[in-house]
Chains A and B, each alone.
Chain A
């Protein structure tokens, strides 16, 4: 019988779902161009965001994340226009983050064509921003961008301001608090692994995934399809990669066929 109960569902029955795991190429964008660095620094030009996003979509990307890493106001002024240009060609979801400081920043990006906005430092400063955004746009629009650095074997601290500032905030506590306040997804970046090509921080992924009920996107360190397989094994709902795709080491479709062979359910 096809009736969704309005009663809370019993946790004893296995959670059947046809939901597929997502592969998400990430474009770090500044001044209308793609840039890519190691550990958030040493940026180099890596092409036109519209061209790249369209190629990724053709190759089977499930979503695109665009992070505005502008260093100057002049560069940042182009970010809304970049979102508009990418939106006009793309028929898959776009998440935009980087420099989202207020409700109005989020509103501008959403009306330019973003489907979700990712908030990082501004939410750490003002956690209620997450609640305001969720009330205005729905929590499915609000992504917590959480950059974490490992302090002890099972302890991570929140990093803000593009990696220039390590806080005393515990990353697991922050993930829990932020999702309760209104974040509908966590984009979880290992600051230690970002750009290093040695795989995602799986312990971090496991810890956050077991704490929150919203989807977790693994980010930071992917260099091979096997790294994505590991991320999904550690509880990620989606896996993000930048240089792996930018450097044409693998196409999205090659990565997805490796995932399929490893038994990971992905969209064909």
Chain B
């Protein structure tokens, strides 16, 4: 089997060591990616992220990665968003608005917003919770995942298979369309179940026949 190259986007605020270690354990070769050319050329791209939406969003914009990531996702090339990396794909975030920041507009790949979880439950949600994948999912599966967040997607994005989780409310905790997957939870911290998800993303993605608008195979 070929050694898989996984590019991990360095947004400036994220802790990347856990993600890098998880892919290394799977035998992938990992490199950190900071420019648009590398985002375009990576066979597999992970957009991780912890911290605030507006800071991460500003980081992407400063490095001019917005269009490159958007194009990858729209061209159905293997891309994985984790935690804030999922939220950055949405249309806009209430988190950034509440902070009075202008960087509240996401990449718009997912036509839904990012809203707070209800304050009737413990926040942030820190810990393990059930993920229930719908029948359309190929890479996502039901199981128990580790979460660390206070905000979540507002609704199911149309055209995406999804998984749900309940914390005060039932919300969309992961989405998938072809080889593009985005999870609110942390697969890299979700034990053997999380490692198997990362493994499926790498293994399934290479078998999904995807063509760019020019008709060339994109991966």
Contact = CB atoms under 8 A, between A and B. Distances in A.
Interface of A: 2-6, 8-11, 13, 15-22, 57, 62, 84, 87-88, 90-94, 110-116, 135-141, 184-185, 213-215, 237-238, 267-268
Interface of B: 13, 15-18, 21-22, 24-25, 50-52, 55, 84, 94, 113, 115-130, 144, 146-150, 152-156, 164-172, 186, 188-192, 194-195
Given A9-B168, A115-B148, A20 B129 contact: yes
Contacts of B144: 20, 267-268
B155 A17 contact: no
Given A6-B116, A92-B146, A214-B123, A141 B155 contact: no
Contact of B15 (A10, A22, A92, A114): A114
Contact of B126 (A5, A113, A136, A237): A237
B51 A112 contact: no
A87 B17 contact: yes
Contact of A113 (B21, B152, B154, B191): B21
Contact of A138 (B50, B115, B170, B172): B50
Contacts of B192: 91
B156 A2 contact: yes
A17 B153 CA distance: 17
B122 A138 contact: no
Contact of B122 (A111, A115, A137, A214): A214
**Most chain A beta-carbon neighbours within 10 Å: one of B113, B122, B147, B156:** B122
Most B C-beta atoms less than 10 A away, residue of A84, A92, A110: A92
5 contacts: A19-B122, A84-B17, A90-B21, A138-B13, A237-B127
Contacts of A110: 15, 17
Nearest to B15: A110
Contacts of A6: 94, 113, 115-116, 154
B191 A88 contact: no
B164 A115 contact: no
Contacts of B153: 4
Q: Which of A2, A19, A137 has the most CB of B within 10 A?
A: A19
A10 B21 CA distance: 41
Contacts of B191: 57, 91-92
A268 B189 CA distance: 15
Given A91-B195, A185-B126, A15 B120 contact: yes
Contact of B118 (A2, A9, A92, A141): A9
Contacts of A135: 52, 55
Contacts of B130: 18
The 7 closest A-B pairs by CB, nearest first: A9-B118, A113-B17, A138-B51, A140-B148, A18-B130, A6-B115, A140-B124
B161 to A, nearest CB: 13
B126 A3 contact: no
Contacts of A21: 127
B119 A136 contact: no
A17 B129 contact: yes
A54 to B, nearest CB: 12
B171 A91 contact: no
Nearest to B122: A215
Contacts of B194: 91
Looking at B16, B52, B84, B156, the one whose CB has the most chain A CB atoms below 10 A away is: B52
B172 A2 contact: yes
Given A16-B166, A88-B24, A138-B50, A9 B128 contact: no
Contacts of B172: 2
A20 B185 CA distance: 14
Given A15-B121, A88-B21, A137-B15, A5 B115 contact: yes
Given A17-B168, A112-B17, A137-B13, A267 B128 contact: yes
Nearest to A117: B15
Contacts of B52: 135, 138
